[in-house]
Amino acid sequence: MTTILEKTAGLVAFVRTVDAGSFHAASRLLGSSPSAVSKSVARLERRLGVRLVQRSTRRLGLTSEGIAYYERVAPLLRALDDAEDIVQMADTARGLLRVTAPLELGRGLIASWAQLFLSQHSELKLELSVTDRHADLIREGYDMAVRIGDLSDTGLVARRIANLPVVLVAAPVYIERRGQPASIDALQDHDFIRHQMAGRPYPVVFANGTQIVPNGRLDTDDGGAIRQAALAGAGIAHLMQFAVQDDLDAGRLVRILPRAAMPTMPVHIVHAFGRQLPVRARLFVDFLAGRMAALSR
CATH code of residue 34: 1.10.10.10
pLDDT at 169: 98
Q: Residue 149: give its domain's CATH number.
A: 3.40.190.10
Q: Does residue 237 lie in a domain region?
A: yes
Q: Are residues 17 and 130 in the same domain?
A: no
Q: Clarify whether residues 113 and 249 are in a common domain.
A: no
Confidence at residue 4, expressed as pLDDT on a 0 to 100 scale: 60
List of the chain residues with pLDDT < 70:
1-9, 29, 56-59, 79, 81-92, 153-154, 275, 296-297
- Give pTM, 2 decimals: 0.67
Q: What pLDDT, on the 0 to 100 scale, is given for residue 185?
A: 93
Question: What is the residue-averaged pLDDT of the chain?
Answer: 85
Number of domains observed in the structure of the chain? 3
Print the domain residue range for 158: 90-164+265-296
At residue 152, the pLDDT reads: 74
DSSP code per residue over the chain: ---HHHHHTTHHHHHHHHHHSSHHHHHHHHTS-HHHHHHHHHHHHHHHTS--EEE-SS-EEE-HHHHHHHHHHHHHHHHHHHHHHHTS-GGG--EEEEEEE-HHHIIIIIHHHHHHHHHH-TTEEEEEEE-SS---HHHHT-SEEEEESPPP--S-EEEEEEEE-EEEEE-HHHHHHH----STGGGGGS-EEEEEETTEEPPEE-TTS-EE----SEEES-HHHHHHHHHTTS-EEEEEHHHHHHHHHHTSSEESSTTS--PPEEEEEEESSTTS--HHHHHHHHHHHHHHHGGG-
On whether residue 260 sits in a domain, the answer given is no
